Structure 1
Amino acid sequence: MKHLNRFLVAAILFLGIGVANAQDENNPWAVEVGVNAVDVYPAGQNEDQLRLQAPGMRGEIFDEYFNANDHWNILPSVSRLAISRYVGSGFVFTAAGSINRIDRLGDVAANDLSYYGADGAIKYSFRNAIAPGGWFDPSLGIGGGYTWVDDIGFGTANATAGIKVWFTENLGLNLQSTYKHAFEEAYGISHFQHSAGVVFQFGGKDTDGDGIYDKDDECPETPGLPEFNGCPDTDGDGIEDRLDECPETPGLPEFNGCPDTDGDGVPDHKDECPTVAGLKELNGCPDADGDGIADKDDACPNEAGPKENNGCPWPDRDGDGVLDKDDQCPDVAGTVANKGCPEVSVEIIKQLNDYSKTILFDLGKASIRKESYAVLQNIADIMKEYPNAKFEIEGHTDSTGSLKLNERLSKERAASVKDYLTTIGMDASRLTSEGYGPSRPIATNKTKAGRQQNRRVEISLKK
């Protein structure tokens, strides 16, 4: 039996050392300071005890369990100290030391026997099963210990039931009753030891000081809120920073914490026009004229127009029904068939030739006489009214003289008219000249009047 006692003490010490390295949890340590009461009466009795012990020392098991006045031995001072370590999964190891004075063994008076106890127990808390984090914390436990009454020591097997009442997260009251069964039947004393003590638990690590222990803190190095498991919500929009795309600006859940100032369904950080309601397809910008070009990029936001013209409708300055972009003569009214330019009519060609027939040259030469300059100006003015028309200047002669001379003279006179028209503003690319000599008469060369008609300059429309 002595070997058993030694083994029990060694086991308690081993458990105490072992749990010191247990997994860290919130407030893994607890210290209890309190008082204890020792009562042998309700510990039950057997034949050996009846033979060895005085009558009245013991009753049946749990007999007069609450009879404190007659049976309890209480030292009126702090008489119990315990330290506990959370093991995990609701289990706690407790090592306790207690002292007392025994002046009654049941109904039998004792002569102030000294009492010392050293105990260890593994207890299971039902707190989380009943109400996690609640104030009511019942527990059951088993363990062992060693008790000295005066100079007699004996080992015990212990069974414990207790209730803790938590006033705060760290401070509570422990009410506990332990049955200690003595291994030594000859001199060991089986008994109950009741205790009441104030418990203070500690040891939890809270790196960021936000009141949430690191074990439960998903952001242990950044102060946060309990509803986000210790993670912060900087902008206070109810979305924790880790999930908030705009953590410093209050926003909406549907936009992952980002705001939508104009309420157009495009969050501000993706909205190119965050203060004006717009369209998603235009990145949150409005399109007043519905032409598919955002107003901020639209030179004519209230008039629909193509992107090629910066959102403006194509103009038609001359009002001829041909848009300027397609109008080869945007400042002169024309016809659609002639790409917006006016068409040269037969009447216009006749008018040009009426003028051209009056052009005078020096005799036998290609030089134009000054009195014809006004006529040439009239011809140029008419041509300019048809910006995309091209004209051919034709030179003609009568049949008098050599053919070679007439052909050369007709070419030179036509070229002379062309050159003069370019000097007064006509585009040279719109004019060509050619001499036909006497090959295209319009009258007989047998009469003076006929030959005069054949010596002429004509203007034709070049196709």
Structure 2
Amino acid sequence: MKKKSLLLVGLLSMVLFAGAQTDNNKVAIGLYFGKNEYKGDLGNGIFNFNKAFYGFGGVSFATYISPSFDLSLQGNYGNYGYFPTSNTLTNMLGSKYEGTLSLHYKFNNGYLLSKELKLSPFVEVGVGFASYSKNGQSVTDRINTGGSDVIVPLGVGLKYQFNDAFALQYKFVYNLTNKDDRDFVVSGSKDKFAEHSIGLIFSFGSPKDADGDGVSDKLDKCPNTPKGVEVDAFGCPIDTDGDGVADYLDKCPNTPAGAAVDANGCPLDSDGDGVPDYLDKCPNTPKGIKVDAAGCPLDSDGDGVPDSLDKCPNTPKGVKVNASGCPLDSDGDGVPDNIDKCPDTPKGVKVDTSGCPIDTDGDGVPDYLDKCPTVPGIAANKGCPEVKAETKKIFAQALQGIQFESGKDVIKKSSFAILNKVVKVMNDNPSYNLEINGHTDNQGAAAMNLTLSQKRADAVKAYLTKNGVDAGKLAAKGFGQTVPVADNATAAGRAKNRRVEFKVNF
């Protein structure tokens, strides 16, 4: 008995040691009870439930090898017997110890059936020993004997897995022996025994955790997590900001929720301006452009034109600008509207710093309208001085004071005095331009009168030019009888209509 006990301990140690070498290091202990059955020379009691019940109890130790195989060490002790209806022996009754080492093949290995099945079938084959102590009763006397056999267990069973730690198992084992005298009869065929058992299986050891993150592979949704990476309850790397990039890879672990990120876990910055898209109000800024905190191109003067396009980046606030960021200059005089006091100056007119046309003589008539830009004048005379009363008087005297020989364009000497006064007026007033207009009465043909009036105007012009007046400032024109100033029906009226008028222009 001592040798048998040592052998059982040795086999158990071998199984446990073998289990320690597996990837899983998962060990199961089983406690079971059942019924022993016999088949031999006395009869066949296997699956014969009308025979007496011979019970046994046992314990098993199993270790995981692979998804398909477990290695199991089993030991049991119980009774066996057989009472035939007629034989030289009236009965057989005994007890036995068994120890076996078996290899289990599991059908729920992921190849034949799913690993997740609760109810899974298996088969087993092994080798072991059996020690018997038995007695029999013959017709004449009682027999007591014992012995040991080598046995080969062949088994089939079903296991229901309640959870990772607990299962219920049914198993049928058919034990082949190497002896034929366990029933006291030797007839040429070996005796056989069978076992029906129900057991409770308790599993120990750590579940398989391929990546060593502390979450079993069965629960691990990220089974290939790099070593040392902190994981959540599902075995996946922690992602504090929930951006889809695990913290151990995330260079921006505090990205706000909902912000799109790149492979490094940093918020996307489509235009590369340094402001992430989720904050960038101008996500398409051209590369190299300086931007503000909102990701928009800098606009130093706040005129709505970014500095990168602004040709006038220091425009005062509130000033309207054009597309180039420069203050509007509606009249194009070079003075922006915001300081232009004359915003409607005609194009090409020179202006002062206020944007108003230059008025050199300060008479209120701008130079571009002033016919006398260096001499103060009045608007009525286009910026030229007002015609003096004395000059007007001379011109009035000339109306009737210039006389011609009758029907001719020859000036009478009596008219030279008044014409000389006109010469002086023109020389004293270089800004004057003088119109010389000749007129006649209605005596004679109109065409002849028109020609005569033109010749007389030309004669006056010639006299003035001869006496020093610039011909460029003189214009002679005859009107004939077309512009009377009195009634041609009377001699007095006709005398007034025969005249030479002077008109100053500027």
TM-score normalised to structure 1 length? 0.52
CA deviation profile, 1:320-373 (whole Å, cap 9, x unmatched):
537789xxx9x999988999999999998x999999xxxxxxxxxxxxxxxxxx
Which residue is 1:30 aligned to? 28
Contact 2:64/2:70 (<8 A) preserved: yes
* Corresponding residue SS for 2:326: coil
Letter in 2 for 1:92: D
Tell me which of 191, 196, 199 is aligned to 1:189.
191
Distance 1:193 1:202 in 2: 26
Following TM superposition, by how much is the alpha carbon of 1:91 offset from its aligned partner in structure 2, in angstroms?
0.7
Which residue is 2:107 aligned to? 126
Residue 278 (structure 2) pairs with residue 274 (structure 1): yes
Distance 2:75 2:157 in 1: 17
* Corresponding residue SS for 2:65: strand
> After the TM superposition, which residues 290-309 of structure 1 pair with which residues of structure 2 at under 5 Å, given as runs?
295=296, 297-299=298-300, 303-305=304-306, 306-307=309-310, 309=312
Following TM superposition, by how much is the alpha carbon of 1:36 offset from its aligned partner in structure 2, in angstroms?
2.6
By relative contact order (CA 8 Å, sep 6+), the higher-ranking structure is 1
Tell me which of 62, 77, 86 is aligned to 1:99.
77
Following TM superposition, by how much is the alpha carbon of 1:209 offset from its aligned partner in structure 2, in angstroms?
5.1
> Which runs of 5 or more structure 1 residues have no equivalent in the other structure?
42-48, 356-463
Contact 1:115/1:147 (<8 A) preserved: yes
Contact 2:130/2:148 (<8 A) preserved: yes
Residue 132 (structure 2) pairs with residue 135 (structure 1): no
Letter in 1 for 2:35: A
Contact 2:159/2:168 (<8 A) preserved: yes
> After the TM superposition, which residues 212-227 of structure 1 pair with which residues of structure 2 at under 5 Å, given as runs?
216=223, 218=225, 222-226=230-234
Contact 1:94/1:120 (<8 A) preserved: yes
Change (3 A) 1:208 1:314: closer
Which residue is 2:61 aligned to? 83
Query: Between the two proteins, what is the percent identity of the paired residues?
Result: 16
* Corresponding residue SS for 1:184: coil
CA deviation profile, 1:432-463 (whole Å, cap 9, x unmatched):
xxxxxxxxxxxxxxxxxxxxxxxxxxxxxxxx
Which residue is 2:261 aligned to? 255
Report the more deviating stretch, 184-193 or 167-176.
184-193
Following TM superposition, by how much is the alpha carbon of 1:302 offset from its aligned partner in structure 2, in angstroms?
6.5
Following TM superposition, by how much is the alpha carbon of 1:253 offset from its aligned partner in structure 2, in angstroms?
9.7
Residue 49 (structure 2) pairs with residue 68 (structure 1): yes
Letter in 1 for 2:115: P
Following TM superposition, by how much is the alpha carbon of 1:148 offset from its aligned partner in structure 2, in angstroms?
1.2
Distance 2:50 2:239 in 1: 59
Following TM superposition, by how much is the alpha carbon of 1:160 offset from its aligned partner in structure 2, in angstroms?
1.3
Distance 1:267 1:287 in 2: 11
Number of aligned residue pairs: 312
Letter in 2 for 1:279: P
TM-score normalised to structure 2 length? 0.48
Distance 1:146 1:317 in 2: 111
Change (3 A) 1:88 1:320: same
Following TM superposition, by how much is the alpha carbon of 1:143 offset from its aligned partner in structure 2, in angstroms?
0.7
Tell me which of 151, 159, 167 is aligned to 2:162.
167
Contact 2:32/2:58 (<8 A) preserved: yes
Distance 1:186 1:100 in 2: 19
Letter in 2 for 1:118: G
Letter in 2 for 1:90: S
Following TM superposition, by how much is the alpha carbon of 1:295 offset from its aligned partner in structure 2, in angstroms?
3.5
> After the TM superposition, which residues 6-405 of structure 1 pair with which residues of structure 2 at under 5 Å, given as runs?
16=15, 19-25=18-24, 28-41=26-39, 49=40, 53-54=41-42, 57-58=43-44, 65=47, 67-70=48-51, 72-75=53-56, 79-104=57-82, 110=91, 112-127=93-108, 128=110, 129-150=112-133, 151-187=146-182, 189-204=191-206, 210=215, 216=223, 218=225, 222-226=230-234, 229-235=235-241, 241=247, 247=253, 249=255, 251=257, 255=261, 271-272=275-276, 274-275=278-279, 277-281=281-285, 295=296, 297-299=298-300, 303-305=304-306, 306-307=309-310, 309-310=312-313, 313-316=324-327, 321=332
Following TM superposition, by how much is the alpha carbon of 1:224 offset from its aligned partner in structure 2, in angstroms?
2.1
> Which runs of 5 or more structure 2 residues have no equivalent in the other structure?
134-145, 183-189, 316-323, 362-366, 377-506
Distance 1:336 1:69 in 2: 132
* Corresponding residue SS for 1:36: strand
Question: Larger helix proportion, structure 1 or 2?
Answer: 1
Change (3 A) 1:58 1:267: farther
